[in-house]
Amino acid sequence: MGTRTVGAEDVFAPVRSVADAILYEGYLLYPYRGSSGKNRVRWQFGVLTPREWTRHRGPDDKGVAGSAEGWWQQTECLLYGPAETVMCQIRFLQLQRRSVEEFDGHRHRPVDALDTGTGMETGFDEAVPREFTLRFPLEGKGNTADGSRKVFLELPGGQDIQVIPGAGEEPAGRVLRRRWPLSAAVRFSATPVGEGPKGPLTRLRVRVENTGGGIAAGAERDEALRVSPLACHVLMAVRGGSFISLLEPPEWACAAARTCENVRTFPVLAGPSARYDLLLSSPILLYDHPRVAPESPGDLHDSGEIDEILSLRTLTLTDEEKREARATDARAAAILDRVDTMPPEVFERLHGAVRSMGMVPPPGEGGEETVVAGVRLGTGSRVRLRPRLRGTDPQDRFLDGRDARVEKVLTDVDDVVHLAVTLEGDPAADLDRWYGRYRYFTLDEVEPLAAEAPGEAGPE
């Protein structure tokens, strides 16, 4: 296992919270019980299955989506400027099977669940986080025939035993945690691809492969997962150079960016927006400089965008359901503890936050207003919706011709004015207005209507 630090500094600290969210995305889903159907088919992203087992199932899918399983994944990115060394951190989960045995006075025998008196123990597939930190020089010849550098990663199998005390001297039972050997290889190469305005441009390639064996080609998926890196992703850091965004490369780097081939993973700039020395290659498609919402109080493993509804749903679980969830996994127990003790002000923050909009300064007296086709619009004005044909949310197209009431006039960070509206004739309009849930349209997507009382709603 590699170290996290260079000297006393954890170079990947600025991106670790996002990387951890990726590591455990889909790990355990609401209602957080092992008996739930959605928690019986697991490990949705970044699974590197054994090579022969994968090939037995059909052609290799070489898309960037990490939900397509393969025996390897590849990251290619661009590095600009002089640098001597690239640091890579390979991170994934190793499956750990937890089983429960009851002691009957003579021997231990497998059971589905064991009541410990203070709680319950059940069988479940846990996971152990693993990370390897590697340093690759950009100069010099590698250790393979093609000049790339290859490093092998090995994790041994093992078993841990946790004894469950009984009422007397004899134990009530035990919990067994078993891991299978796992092996992988990392290939690294650096290829010059041109010059930028102020330095060299280099294409970096990091390929991670499952090199393990011992699994029959026709084995069940659960068996293959025992020897598969799960939620595999790569962090990269550099000193003396900058990573180039593949989503929005500068014009002089566009041609080189198009040559980058990413398979079952995709690299984005990471850390604060002002930094270009960190990169995250994720099996889940992200934008540059991703971050965890500051309102989120902790992992729910289901996406940070639905914290509110998941927290509210968790509160509705019965005591028996919560007992089973706590027995399923320690992370499920932590979610229940956090939600059960969450203060009201935290729930209020989860309701939503607008970061990209602010109030339009009023043009003279009269409050929040703007002008469309010579007509002044503000809170209470009536408009007819005419969504654009391109670049529009598909759901908004169904609102073409509907009449709406302006609730707020807002502007985003690019100084584009938006109207927050509720639909006329919508029975949920009053509730949406109370919650502050609106539909948003730009000024070129509305037609001003006369100020008289609302008429009939437009076509569906």
| CATH, residue 392 | 2.30.30
Euclidean distance between CA atoms 291 and 412, whole angstroms: 20
Is 455 part of a structural domain of the chain? no
Residue 221: which pLDDT band, with cuts at 50, 70 and 90? Answer: very high
**Boundary residue ending a domain (281, 312, 340):** 340
Position 303 scores a pLDDT of: 56
pLDDT at 302: 65
**Is this structure's pTM higher than 0.85?**
no
* Whether residue 158 is found in the same domain as residue 237: yes
CA dihedral 445, 449, 454, 457 (to 10 degrees): -40
257 and 399 together in one domain: no
Asked whether residue 427 falls in the same domain as residue 294, the answer is no
Range of the structural domain that residue 361 is part of: 357-448
Question: Final residue of a domain: which of 309, 340, 371?
Answer: 340
pLDDT for 315 equals 84
**CA–CA gap between residue 159 and residue 180 (Å, rounded):** 9
* Residue in this structure with the two tokens 């090995």, named with its chain if needed: 154
SS3 state of residue 159? strand
Task: Return the higher-pLDDT residue of 106 and 74.
Answer: 74
Q: Which residue has the tokens 């661009």?
A: 78
Residue 125 pLDDT more than 80? yes
The answer to whether residues 421 and 317 belong to one domain is: no
Q: What is the pLDDT of residues 260-316, one digit of tens each?
A: 999 999 999 999 988 999 999 999 989 999 988 777 767 766 654 577 777 888 888
Q: Would you say residue 97 lies in a domain?
A: yes
288 plus 385 within the same structural domain: no
240 in any annotated domain: yes
pLDDT category at 1 given cuts 50, 70, 90 is: very low
Q: What is the pLDDT of residue 297?
A: 66
Query: Per the domain annotation, does 350 fall within a domain?
Result: no
Closest of 273, 277, 303 to residue 289, by C-alpha: 273
- Per-residue pLDDT tens digits for 240-269: 899 999 999 999 999 999 999 999 999 999
Q: Is residue 42 part of a domain?
A: yes
For 402, phi and psi rounded to 5 degrees? Answer: -75, 150
Alpha-carbon distance 94 to 179, whole Å? 8
pLDDT class of 346 with cuts at 50, 70, 90: confident
Q: Are residues 366 and 335 in the same domain?
A: no
Claim to verify: residue 34 and residue 93 sit in the same structural domain: yes
Domain membership flag for residue 200: yes
Closest listed residue to residue 406, CA positions, set 429, 422, 418: 422
Share of the chain above pLDDT 90, in %: 49
> In the predicted model, what is the mean pLDDT of residues 64-79?
89
- Which has the minimum average pLDDT: 216-220, 269-273, 426-430? 426-430
- Same domain, yes or no, for 274 and 137? yes
DSSP state of 374: T
**What is the DSSP secondary structure assignment for residue 360, as one 8-state letter?**
P
Domain assignment of residue 399, yes or no: yes
Q: Is residue 90 part of a domain?
A: yes
> What is the CA angle 307-309-315, rounded to 5?
100
Return mean pLDDT, the chain. Answer: 85
**pLDDT-based confidence at 69, cuts 50/70/90?**
confident
**Number of domains within the chain:** 2
Out of 15-29, 30-44, 221-235, least confident range = 30-44
Tokens representing 237 are: 């850091």
Q: Are residues 254 and 390 both part of a single domain?
A: no
Tokens of 228: 């598969």
Tens-place pLDDT, residues 377-394: 999 999 999 988 766 667
Residues 327 and 402 reside in one and the same domain: no
Q: What is the pLDDT of residue 366?
A: 37
Say yes or no: 302 and 190 in one domain.
Answer: yes
Residue where one domain finishes, among candidates 308, 340, 372: 340
Residue 367 pLDDT greater than 70, yes or no: no
Judge if 314 and 373 occupy the same domain. Answer: no
